Amino acid sequence: MALIVQKYGGSSVGDAGKIKNVARRVAQTKDKGNQVVVVVSAMGDTTDELIKLAYQINERPDERELDMLLSTGEIISCTLLAMALEAMGYEAISLSGAQAGIKTDAVYSRARIQSIDPERITRELEKGNIVIVAGFQGITDDMDVTTLGRGGSDTTAVALAVSLGAEVCQIYTDVEGVFTADPRIVPEAQKLPEIGYEEMLELATYGAKVMHPRAVELGELFNVPILVASSFNDSPGTLIHGGVAMEVRNKVRGIAHDLDVAKITVVGVPDRPGIAASIFEPLAKANISIDTIVQNASVNKITDLTFTVAKSQLKKAMEVVKPIAESIGARECVSDSTLGKVSIIGTGMQNTPGYAARMFGALREKGINIELITTSEIRITCIIEEDRVKDAVRVLHRAFELEG
Ligand code: ASP
Ligand code: MG
């Protein structure tokens, strides 16, 4: 008997009919003799609607209250799924994150899982129950409800798979797997039958929406295979795992893009020790996550410092940075909120020259200006104008021959 953790995303449980569809799929897995733990997201756009509602009531909702509110979205879907299974004659029980033993730190809206005590889940499984866990949430030592950040149900699922020693974590969603690029932008994009953790982590971090990066990271850390597949058909999906064969690791695997990029440049910064710390420490304290950071080589002990944040964090970041820029004698502080980024990703580019040149050449062909460039061992990212991102994805998909 295998233990399988399945996760169903918000669009897969969007209405009563879809919840019944999920119940049938869960039941099939149970009928094959498996123990099944299911993690669900909130129905459809519930989380967005709850956030909107909160802001209609209070422009600055208390973060503890907000997390408590958002956690209810997943409670709704997990109870309904349990009822759907019971209606089909299966024994099922729904558990909130707290009931499932998921302990987190107290950083509201982006809490991290600290530990899982799977005792209750195990007990229910032993009784023969299908266990349905509300995704995206946990509880602090003080018994306050927290949420794990948008898209966090993936992380709940992989974390449970780790803690229960599950054979596989299956992520069911409204797409058929991981593609070489977003198929809505590139119709010729190919589904990848398998992909390694590190490539998937870069894809997810740099914009592929199909999985939460933290979930991929956890999977890699504990070597849990993760299947990403459709909840609407039986097409095989993409397996994310550690044993991807050498032959498929030989080139660019995919193009990721992200339209949510804003840039701040502190112009004319005196180049002396401690300046970067004096800018980034307060940003960290304000809980603003910084993505790309670029500092120019200085001329006459003066340099420019550029970094990017999510568009939603631009205002807050500017409020933090402006007074600091003044106090350290920088010339000015400018921002641009109309950017996006496009990345090529693949372990094949490790130690192989020519990928950057090919990428920049392809962008030139389309007259796309590159604002910033960053790289890792297996990724090259260009920050460009937001409204050129789709063109960039298409031209890069072609340039790296990903059509198959
Ligand atoms: N419902 C939450 C969100 O929309 C968590 C999730 O779907 O994973 O972000
Ligand atoms: Mg969702």
What value does the mean pLDDT take over residues 384-397?
A: 98
SS3 381: strand
Report which of 340, 367, 311, 307 is spatially closest to residue 182, judged by C-alpha positions. Answer: 340
Atom of ligand 1 nearest to the CA of 212: 8
- pLDDT at residue number 209: 87
Is pLDDT at 248 greater than 90 in this prediction?
Answer: no
Burial string for 145-164 (b: 16+ CB within 10 Å, else e) reads bbbbeebbbbbbbbbbbbbb
Ligand 1 mutation target, pool 74, 146, 150, most atoms within 8 A of CB: 150
**DSSP string across 49-61:** HHHHHHHHH-SS-
Atom of ligand 1 nearest to the CA of 154: 8
pLDDT in tens, 174-230: 999 999 999 999 999 999 999 999 999 999 999 888 999 999 999 999 999 999 999
Atom of ligand 1 nearest to the CA of 10: 7
Question: In which element (H, E) is residue 255 found?
Answer: strand 254-270
- pLDDT at residue number 243: 82
Whole-number CA gyration radius for the chain? 23
- pLDDT at residue number 246: 54
> Which 8-state DSSP code applies to residue 81?
H
Atom of ligand 1 nearest to the CA of 148: 5
- List, in order, residues 6 or more apart from 375 with CB less than 8 Å away: 356, 381
CA 214 to ligand 2 center in whole angstroms: 15
- The pLDDT-based confidence of 352 (bands split at 50, 70, 90) is confident
CA 162 to ligand 2 center in whole angstroms: 22
Is pLDDT at 250 greater than 70 in this prediction?
Answer: no
Atom of ligand 1 nearest to the CA of 74: 1
- pLDDT at residue number 113: 97
Contact 236, 229 (CB under 8 A): yes
- List, in order, residues 6 or more apart from 398 with CB less than 8 Å away: 362
- pLDDT at residue number 245: 67
How many Å apart are CA 274 and CA 205, to the nearest integer?
A: 29
Torsion angle, alpha carbons of 362, 366, 369, 371, to 10: -50
How many Å apart are CA 236 and CA 244, to the nearest integer?
A: 16
Is pLDDT at 330 greater than 60 in this prediction?
Answer: yes
CA 353 to ligand 1 center in whole angstroms: 40
What pTM was computed for the model?
0.91
- The pLDDT-based confidence of 251 (bands split at 50, 70, 90) is confident
Ligand 1 mutation target, pool 43, 110, 136, most atoms within 8 A of CB: 136
Q: What values do phi and psi take at 389, rounded to 5? A: -60, -45
CA 26 to ligand 1 center in whole angstroms: 20
Pocket of ligand 1 (CB under 6 A): 10, 41-42, 47, 73, 135-136, 150-153
- Give the number of whichever ligand sits closest to the CA of residue 174: 2
Question: In which element (H, E) is residue 100 found?
Answer: none
Question: In which element (H, E) is residue 260 found?
Answer: strand 254-270
CA 387 to ligand 2 center in whole angstroms: 25
The residue contributing the CA closest to ligand 1 atom 9 is 150
- pLDDT at residue number 361: 97
- pLDDT at residue number 64: 97
- Give the number of whichever ligand sits closest to the CA of residue 77: 1
CA 10 to ligand 2 center in whole angstroms: 5
CA 51 to ligand 2 center in whole angstroms: 12
- Beta partners for residue 102, in sequence order: 116
